[in-house]
Amino acid sequence: MMKALLKKDLYNLATYKASLIIIILFCGIAIIGTDAINIAPAIICGIVGMISLSTFSYDEMSKSNRYILTLPTNKKELVREKYILVIGATVLGGILGMILTIIVVNIMNYLRTENIINLDYQSLIIVTIGGIFAISFLQSVQIPSIYKWGAEKGRIQMFILVLIIVAILGGMYFLINKANINIDMEMINNFITKFGIMLLIISTIVMYFISYKIAYKIYKNKEE
Amino acid sequence: MENNIELKNVLKKYNDFELKNISFNVPQGCIVGLIGENGAGKTTTIKSILNITKSEGTVKIFGKDSKKNEKEIKEETGVVLDDSFLSEYLTAKQVNSIMKDFYKNWNENKYINLLKQFNLPTDKLIKDFSSGMKMKLKIATAISHNPKLLILDEPTSGLDPVVRNEILDIFRKYIEEDETRSILLSTHITTDLEHISDYIVFIEKGKIIFDLPTDELLENYGIIKCSKDDFTKLDENDYITYKKGKYQYEVLTKDKSVIKNKYNLMTIDKPSIEDIMLFYIKGEK
CA atoms within 13 A on the CB side of A158: 24
Lowest mean pLDDT of B24-33, B184-193, B195-204, name the range.
B184-193
Whether B134 contacts chain A with CB within 8 A? no
Nearest to B140 by CA among B162, B165, B164, B171: B171
Contact at 8 Å (CB) between B82 and B153? yes
B161 with B126, same domain: the answer is yes
Closest-CA distance of chain A to residue B99, Å: 7
At A185 the three-state DSSP class reads helix
Give pLDDT tens digits for B242-257: 988 888 888 999 888 8
Phi and psi (nearest 5°) for B25?
Answer: -120, 155
CATH number at residue B166: 3.40.50.300
| Residues forming a β-bridge with B183 | B31, B150
B189 with B255, same domain: the answer is no
Q: What mean pLDDT comes out for the span A21-39?
A: 72
In chain B, which among 141-180 make CB contacts under 8 A with chain A? 151
Contact list in A for residue B89 (CB cut-off 8 A) is 11-12, 15, 58, 62
Q: Residue B251's domain spans which residues? A: 221-282
Contact list in A for residue B50 (CB cut-off 8 A) is 69-70
Contact list in B for residue A12 (CB cut-off 8 A) is 87, 89-90
Indicate which of A66, A76, A219, A220 best probes the interface with B, i.e. most B CBs within 10 Å of its own CB.
A66
Closest-CA distance of chain A to residue B162, Å: 26
From B192, B214, B236, the end of a domain falls on: B214
Q: What interface predicted TM-score (ipTM) does this complex get?
A: 0.88
Whether A58 contacts chain B with CB within 8 A? yes
- With CB atoms and an 8 Å threshold, state whether A72 touches B103: yes
Which pLDDT value is given to residue A35? 63
Rounded Cα distance, B166 and B260, in Å? 39
- With CB atoms and an 8 Å threshold, state whether B87 touches A11: yes
Rounded Cα distance, B199 and B215, in Å? 8
Write out B65-122 in H/E/C secondary structure. Answer: ECCCCHHHHHHCEEEEECCECCCCCCEHHHHHHHHHHHCCCCCHHHHHHHHHHCCCCC
Query: Would the pLDDT of B270 be above 80?
Result: yes
Q: For B66, which residue in chain A has the nearest alpha carbon?
A: A70
B240 with B258, same domain: the answer is yes
B173 with B48, same domain: the answer is yes
Whether B75 contacts chain A with CB within 8 A? yes
From B183, B214, B245, the end of a domain falls on: B214
Query: Would the pLDDT of A205 be above 70?
Result: yes
B165 with B234, same domain: the answer is no
Name the amino acid, one letter, at B71.
K
Q: Report the share of chain B in percent with pLDDT over 70.
A: 99
B131 with B150, same domain: the answer is yes
B33 with B141, same domain: the answer is yes
Query: Would the pLDDT of B239 be above 70?
Result: yes
Query: Would the pLDDT of A29 be above 80?
Result: no
- With CB atoms and an 8 Å threshold, state whether B74 touches A15: no
Rounded Cα distance, A97 and A49, in Å? 12
Contact at 8 Å (CB) between A158 and A145? yes
Tell me the pLDDT band of A163, cut-offs 50, 70 and 90.
Answer: confident
Q: For the stretch A129-149, what's the b/e string if a residue is b when 16 or more beta carbons lie within 10 angstroms of its beta carbon? A: bbbbbbbbbbbbbbbbbbbee
At B186 the three-state DSSP class reads strand
Q: For B212, which DSSP code?
A: E
Name the amino acid, one letter, at A93.
G
Instruction: Give the number of other Cβ atoms within 10 Å of residue B116's Cβ.
Output: 11
Tell me the pLDDT band of B181, cut-offs 50, 70 and 90.
Answer: very high
User: What is the per-residue DSSP string for A78-92?
Assistant: HHHHHHHHHHHHHHH
Q: Going by C-beta distance under 8 Å and a sequence separation of 6 or more, which residues neighbour residue B68?
A: none
- With CB atoms and an 8 Å threshold, state whether B52 touches A8: no
Give the helix/strand (H/E) hosting B203: strand B199-204
- With CB atoms and an 8 Å threshold, state whether B85 touches A70: no
Nearest to B274 by CA among B192, B196, B151: B192
Which pLDDT value is given to residue B77? 95
Provide the number of structural domains found in chain B: 2
B242 with B184, same domain: the answer is no
At B249 the three-state DSSP class reads strand
Q: For B96, which residue in chain A has the nearest alpha carbon?
A: A4
At A204 the three-state DSSP class reads helix
Which pLDDT value is given to residue A175? 83
Query: Would the pLDDT of B5 be above 90?
Result: yes
B210 with B238, same domain: the answer is no
Highest mean pLDDT (candidates A27-31, A46-50, A168-172, B1-5): B1-5
Give the helix/strand (H/E) hosting B28: none
Rounded Cα distance, A9 and A56, in Å? 9
Lowest mean pLDDT of A112-116, A207-211, B215-219, name the range.
A112-116
Which pLDDT value is given to residue B1? 67
Instruction: Give the number of other Cβ atoms within 10 Å of residue B65's Cβ.
Output: 12
Contact at 8 Å (CB) between B174 and B183? yes
Contact list in A for residue B52 (CB cut-off 8 A) is 66, 69-70, 223-224
Instruction: Give the number of other Cβ atoms within 10 Å of residue A118's Cβ.
Output: 7
Rounded Cα distance, A72 and B72, in Å? 7
Rounded Cα distance, B26 and B40, in Å? 19
Nearest to A97 by CA among A44, A52, A51, A50: A44
B34 with B164, same domain: the answer is yes
By residue count, chain A amounts to 224
Rounded Cα distance, B249 and B263, in Å? 15
Q: Going by C-beta distance under 8 Å and a sequence separation of 6 or more, which residues neighbour residue A187?
A: none
B110 with B29, same domain: the answer is yes
Parallel, antiparallel or unpaired: strands B56-61 and B64-65: antiparallel
From B154, B179, B214, the end of a domain falls on: B214
Indicate which of B98, B100, B106 best probes the interface with A, i.e. most A CBs within 10 Å of its own CB.
B98
Give pLDDT tens digits for B100-151: 999 999 999 999 999 998 889 999 999 999 988 999 999 999 999 999 999 9
Lowest mean pLDDT of A1-5, A64-68, A161-165, B125-129, name the range.
A161-165
Q: For B89, which residue in chain A has the nearest alpha carbon?
A: A12
Phi-psi region of A180 (alpha: psi -120 to 50; beta: other; left: phi over 0): left
- With CB atoms and an 8 Å threshold, state whether A64 touches B87: yes
B121 with B194, same domain: the answer is yes
Whether A57 contacts chain B with CB within 8 A? no
Tell me the pLDDT band of B11, cut-offs 50, 70 and 90.
Answer: very high
- With CB atoms and an 8 Å threshold, state whether B79 touches A67: yes
Q: Is the dihedral of CA B136, B138, B139, B144 positive or negative?
A: positive
Query: Would the pLDDT of A34 be above 70?
Result: no
Closest-CA distance of chain B to residue A196, Å: 41
- With CB atoms and an 8 Å threshold, state whether B89 touches A74: no
Give pLDDT tens digits for B29-61: 999 999 998 888 999 999 999 988 888 999 999
Whether B107 contacts chain A with CB within 8 A? no
Lowest mean pLDDT of A190-199, B8-17, B86-95, B242-251, name the range.
A190-199
